[in-house]
Each structure stands twice: as structure tokens, then as C-alpha cells.
Structure 1
Amino acid sequence: MNTKIKIQLSFMMFLEFFIWGGWFVTLGTFLGDNLKASGGEIAMAFSTQSWGAIIAPFIIGLIADRYFNAERILGVLHLLGALLMYQMYSADDFAIFYPYVLGYMIIYMPTLALVNSISFNQMKDPAKEFAFVRVFGTIGWIVAGLIISYVFLWDSAEARADGLLKNTFLMVAIASAVLGLFSFSLPKTPPTAIKDGNVNISTILGLDALKLLKDRNFLIFFISSVLICIPLAFYYQNANPFLAEIGMENPTGKMTLGQASEVLFMLLLPFFFKRFGFKMTIIAGMLAWTIRYLLFAYGNAGDLAFMLIIGIALHGICYDFFFVSGQIYTDSKAGEKFKSAAQGLITLATYGFGMLIGFWVAGKISDMYLVSDNVHDWTNIWTFPAIFAFVVMALFAIFFKNEVIEYKK
């Protein structure tokens, strides 16, 4: 890639994840404080991510990959997203807010695949070049959190009491409009799918890879992946409201430590994977979920605040050691013919159905331990996903037969 294209792609990734991190992290806090939403309603709002993940393959497979340039679809989707974000900013009731957030996530989730397609199309060696571009996405997510907490202070107790947290949607609407317009200047990425009608629903959804489930080890991994998304959903849905409710200062800014740790553990993953193998890497990732939630359950914003900081910092192990190593394992098992289908199947099962269940469970548990108006019994709330993650880890450790997997760069 020449320098100009590298800068374009890096800026694209920065805005793509600045947009996601700029509202999704504080969504639960906003809904509870500003719209007085219940745990079940908050779960509905977060579940829109899962519905977006389920519907996204149809948008990409049936429309973007077959008829239009990826950069043009990206531009149109983000311009529409800017309009929906502004409507979310203006909403003063959950019933009004929900259709907008559902519509937004249905059009945002496909953009995650589009930015990857645009990037890969410009790279001669994606294995070496993609990491540099993708890391700007993580930086964008971090910058969004720092701006919310340390520049505008929108997640401070005073600002939240004044309803200022809704300004995150306005900020993201502006960023989405900028990315929408900028997308039309990106390198041309023409449709790649065969236009002869051979692309069917099974291919688009990755269902061609279902035959991999005949492999006992892959079946255990697949089931574990779906189940571990239940405790994962607790973090996305409850972490920011939890930190804000117990009085931690600048909770959104502090949560960016999780993204910073992602970068660190992404670099450490190949060494751990090679030294200890796939099974131990997955077990370490699941055990980290249990430890993190126990730290959340018994830490506080006072003298035990360090426990919460450690819990946030474990995000790199929780995410990279399970999900990234899982992608590597899936790639090795699928073979050349089913690589894309297998990755699509895992994404559909985890971010689609797995987290859909997880958000629903998290909402039920949150409502169950609601002590009074906007006050929760967080010890019991966090204990549930801690135990659940430990059980999933134990079942995986017992039933998954150790096998040697070659790490693919």
C-alpha cells in the first residue's frame, strides 16, 4: 500500500470504532438514568447488536457483495446511521428510542465487514499489513471513551443528573456523517461475489460449514463459544452502569483500559498459543471471565477500586484468548473451501444467537437484584456470570480432547 491509502484506511478504521465506542459503552447508563429503562428494556436495546449481527450477512451477501462497491455501501449506511443517531439523541422515552437503535444496529453491523473488505482489497499481504490499520480502530474506541470521561465529563454524576450523557449520540451522529462522506473518497472496492445466482442463503450465513460439527472437538468448541457469550453479555450491558452507580469517577475513560489490554494481549497471544496450545489458551480466556466477575462482585469504588481496575484490564485475556484464538482454531479446522463459511457460522452463533440469549439473561438478573430505584445488588449480579463462565470452562476442559493446532499468522 502507498502512504495515502494507508492513511485513508487507518482514518476509516479510527472513525468506524470511534462511532461504536462513542455510544455503546455508555448505553446502559444512559437508558437507566435518562429514560428510566428497566433491566429488561436495557437488555432489549443491547440485543439490537445481536439482531444486527444476524441480519448483517444478508445485507453483505445479498446486496453489497453482488451489486455495489463496498465503499459506496459504507458511505450510505453511515449517512443513514447519522440520521438515526440524531433521532436517538432526541428521544425522551424508551418506546421512541428502541426502533431507532434497532434500525441503527441493523445498518451498522454490516459496516464491520465492509471496512475489512475495503482494507483487504488494497493489501498485497493482509497478514502483515492489516494489524497496522486495524489497531487504529482500537485507538478510535479508546479516544471516544477518553473524550466522554475526561474532555466533556458527560459520565460524571453531575452531568448524568443533568441528562448530558445523551450528547454521546450527537457526537457519534457527527462522526458517522463524517465517515459517511469520507467513505466516497476511499479506494474503489467492486463487488466480489459471483453474479450467476450460485450464491445462496446457506453460503451467506455460513451454514455450509455445519458439517464441521461432525468433528467432536469442534462441536464442543462451538457449544462453548455460544455459552460463553452469556457471561460476555453481562460485561457489555452492565459494566458501565455498574461503575457509574457505585460512584467510580470517569467510568467510561477507565473502561478504555480494556481496549488497551486487547492490544497488549493480542501481541502476547501467538507466544501463549505456541507455548501452551489451543486448549489451555481457551481455558485461560474463560477462567479470566470468572476472575473478572468475582473482582467486580467484591470490589468497590473506594479502597478496593484496584480490583475493579484489574477486572477491566483482564478484557484483553477474556476477549483475545477466547475469541481470537477461536478464530484461529476455526480457520485451521475449516480447510480452504469452508474458511469464510466457518468464520461466518461462528460469528452468527456467538454475536448473533449467543449474545442475544446473554443480553436477555443479563436483563432478567439485573431486574431480579434491583434493590430500589437505580440501586442494584451488584455482588449477586456479578456472581451469576462468574459461576456460569466457570461451569462452561470446566465442561470444555473435561470434554475437549487436546490437539496440536498450528498457529497461522
Structure 2
Amino acid sequence: MTVRLSALMFMQFFIWGAWQVTLGLVMQTVGIGNLIGNAFSMGPIASIVGSLLLGMVATRYVAPKMLMVILHLVGGVLLFLLPSLITPERGGTFVWLLLGYMILYMPTVGLANTIALKSFGERTDNFPFVRAFGTIGWIASGLIIGWAGLSASPQIFTVAAVVSVALGLYSVTLPTVEADKPQGGSVLAQVFCVEAFSLMRNKSFLVFIACATLISVPLAMYYAYASPYVGAAGIENVGGTLAIGQMSELVFMFSMPWLYRRFGVKPLLLVGMAAWALRYALFAIGDGGSGIWAVYLGVALHGVCYDFFFVAGAIYTGIIAAPKGVNAQAQGMLTLFTYGVGMLLGSQIGALLYAQLPANPTIADWQGMWVYPAVAAAAIALLFQLTFRDDRKETLA
């Protein structure tokens, strides 16, 4: 079971990592750099639309693994079409088709979590180990793309397409877990997944969703602006430096089962949120001289920032949703609020802050920009500490 689910996570995030990391470079190389902002806005928009229409609605009537088969096979076809559209003449069409693909892909993130969590049953402490292979898949895709010399080539989508089709076929062999059962009510209530949203009547879960959405704002800013900041600090190997964060993610992913059993839900979530504030505070003092250590340490904190909140949050969401039997819907809702609403807000707010910088920002300019997300993350962590209370007292032993 663990091997099968690990392979699922590996391919799930290999697909995304194969094209996401160097898409901006590809678009700039072929002469459509002016559309980069539009292209990177498609993911958050797709998270909102896709999570609602597919990840949360269709899962009520179709088994999660069959949805994985359908979405990845159809998505693979679209990926095969994308390279031919990355041209100055067809750039607009490329962005729209990318949106179509992302509407299919983003729900599969929540579906993969659902299949793994439901398959493990009460042994949810196995989930972080399996999820770690998603990070390994992301790293592996980058290494393969770089080794093949495709970093600036539209063929990054072809690589992703091959793995997408493979995952679609492989998904037929995944463990069979039941679709969320309709619990009555009007058709309109079913379409808009009122049952999943009703979980937020639980005050603690409402606080968690609100803070998860808010903390996704600085997450988006990290993905968009960490690389130019690291470059401005005088570090030549930007890609290698940022990979430190992925390695950190792996370390903490593997340690999370023990941490979960030892400390419980709230401490992990709180540490994850506080780590965002610390990371941006480090970025605000890091420079290319004596403060270079702060840049490296800020990047290395990615494992704490991501795993302690987003991986722990997926497990917490599964625990809350289990009694009502709306696990898939709840995971889709979490994706909608974090990768959708939060990341979209982060993209827009980050763009506004970036627009205030000079054309060629110095390290001092970047330091001033990072103060804003540092303060925001600290305020969110404080809000979470004061308002969140885990009444369930669940342990994962």
C-alpha cells in the first residue's frame, strides 16, 4: 500500500514540477514574456474553479480513483498540445489552454490526498511519508529537465504529458475508496457542496481555513519573487540554492509522524505559520555580504513553512471531515482556499509591492519589500494562537 501510494504522489508532483519551475524562462525565450503574469495566474484561478466543479462536485458521484484516471488522461492530451502554442502568434491561446489544463489538474492534488488518507484509515501518520515522495517527484522532474537541456524549451510540457498519461493509466490500479455519499438536501445544495462548507460551523476548523487562506498569500510571494531576490543577493546558483528548501521539506516530511504523535495538531500548525514570519524577517536582513547566512537560512526554512502547515493541515482536514463522510470535498475545499483564493491574493498583492520597486532593484530594495509579508505572517500566527482550539484531542498513535 505504501509503495503504491508513494508512486502516486511521485508522479502527481513530477507532472507539475516538470513545467512550473522553468515556464517563465521558456516564455521569455520564445518572445512572450509579457504573458508570464497571466500564465502564472491560471493556477490560482483553476484551483477555485476546478476544486468546485470537479474535485468537490464530481467526487460525490464518481470514485476518486476513476476521477484521477479521467483527469490525468484528458490533461495529458492538453499537455501534448501546449508546446505548439508557445509562440508570439498563439500566446493568448496558450494561456487559455493552460487554464483549461490547470482546471483539470488542480483537483487531482486534493484527490491524491483523499485516496492516500482514506486508504490508510486510522493510520494517518503514514501520510507524511507517502507525501514526501511528491517532493521527490518535483525534485526529480527538475533534475531530468535540466539534464536533458530542456529548461528553456516548450518540450517541458511533453515530458509532463508523458507522465500524466502514465499516471492516468496507473490510477486504475490504485486502492478503491468510496466517493463521498450524498447526505440529502436539494440538488443546488449538492452542487455547491454545502455539506463540505458546513464543516466550518466548527469554530476551530473555520479558524484553520481562514488562517490557511491568509498564510497562502506570503506563500505565493515566495514562489514568485524568491529567485530574483536570491540573485540580487549575489548568489549565482539560484536554482541550486532554492533546492535547499526542497531538501528541507523532505527532512521535515519524514519526521512529521513522530512530531504529530508527540505534539498534536495545534503546535505543528502554529510553528508552520510562525516559520513564515521568521523566513521573511530573515529575507529582510539578508544581503550579499555578512548577512548572506540569513538568505540561506530563510530558504532552508521552506520545509518547516510548508510541511508543518500544509501537510499537517491536510491531515487535520481529513480528521474533521471523516465523521460526515465528505473527505474528498473537504480536501478540495482546502485546495480552493489555499492554492486558489490565497495564492491569487498573494499574486496580486505581490505584484503591487513589486511594482513599487525600481526597474533593477538592489538587495536593499528587496529587503524593504519582505518586511510586509513578515509582519503579515506574524499577525496571522498570533491570530491563530489566540483563536484556534483543537477540541477533538486527536492523536495519531
Other-structure match for 1:166: 152
**Residue 255 of structure 1 aligns to which amino acid in structure 2?**
L
CA offset digits 1:97-120 (Å, max 9, x no partner): 532432231222133345556767
Other-structure match for 1:83: 80
CA offset digits 1:39-88 (Å, max 9, x no partner): xx655433311222122232345557746934541442332232244146
**Contact kept? 1:290, 1:390, Cα under 8 Å:** yes
Alpha-carbon distance in structure 2 between the residues aligned to 1:197 and 1:326? 25
DSSP-derived class of the 2:19 partner = coil
Which sits farther off after the overlay, 285-294 or 83-92?
A: 83-92
Other-structure match for 1:139: 136
Which of the numbers 54, 59, 66 marks the counterpart of 1:59? 54
Question: Is 1:312 matched with 2:299?
Answer: yes
DSSP-derived class of the 2:155 partner = helix
Alignment size in residue pairs: 390
DSSP-derived class of the 1:22 partner = helix
Question: Is 1:208 matched with 2:202?
Answer: no
**Residue 49 of structure 1 aligns to which amino acid in structure 2?**
G
CA RMSD of aligned residues (A): 3.8
**Residue 138 of structure 1 aligns to which amino acid in structure 2?**
T
TM-aligned CA distance change 1:17 to 1:314, over 3 Å: same
**Contact kept? 2:128, 2:311, Cα under 8 Å:** no
Other-structure match for 1:157: none
DSSP-derived class of the 2:20 partner = coil
Alpha-carbon distance in structure 2 between the residues aligned to 1:362 and 1:262? 24
Other-structure match for 1:361: 349
**Contact kept? 1:45, 1:98, Cα under 8 Å:** yes
Alpha-carbon distance in structure 1 between the residues aligned to 2:172 and 2:126? 16
**How far apart are residue 406 of structure 1 and its match?**
1.6
TM-aligned CA distance change 1:401 to 1:187, over 3 Å: closer
Which of the numbers 112, 115, 121 marks the counterpart of 2:109? 112
TM, length-normalised to structure 1: 0.78
Percent identity over the alignment is: 35
Other-structure match for 1:15: 11
**How far apart are residue 136 of structure 1 and its match?**
2.9
**Contact kept? 1:54, 1:348, Cα under 8 Å:** yes
**How far apart are residue 279 of structure 1 and its match?**
3.2
**Residue 155 of structure 2 aligns to which amino acid in structure 1?**
L
Other-structure match for 1:389: 377
Other-structure match for 1:327: 314
DSSP-derived class of the 1:300 partner = coil
DSSP-derived class of the 1:248 partner = coil
CA offset digits 1:161-197 (Å, max 9, x no partner): xxx8432x41342232243156335535689548999
TM-aligned CA distance change 1:298 to 1:26, over 3 Å: farther
TM-aligned CA distance change 1:277 to 1:84, over 3 Å: same
TM-aligned CA distance change 1:12 to 1:90, over 3 Å: farther
Question: Is 1:222 matched with 2:209?
Answer: yes
**How far apart are residue 364 of structure 1 and its match?**
1.3
**How far apart are residue 372 of structure 1 and its match?**
1.4
Which of the numbers 279, 283, 289 marks the counterpart of 1:292? 279
**How far apart are residue 318 of structure 1 and its match?**
0.7
TM-aligned CA distance change 1:146 to 1:234, over 3 Å: same
Alpha-carbon distance in structure 1 between the residues aligned to 2:161 and 2:346? 28
TM-aligned CA distance change 1:191 to 1:331, over 3 Å: closer
**Residue 308 of structure 1 aligns to which amino acid in structure 2?**
V
**Contact kept? 1:298, 1:379, Cα under 8 Å:** yes
**Residue 396 of structure 1 aligns to which amino acid in structure 2?**
F
CA offset digits 1:376-397 (Å, max 9, x no partner): 8311222111111011112222
CA offset digits 1:229-275 (Å, max 9, x no partner): 11111112222233345443332233222222222212333444444
TM, length-normalised to structure 2: 0.80
TM-aligned CA distance change 1:401 to 1:285, over 3 Å: same
**Contact kept? 2:57, 2:192, Cα under 8 Å:** no
**Contact kept? 2:83, 2:155, Cα under 8 Å:** yes
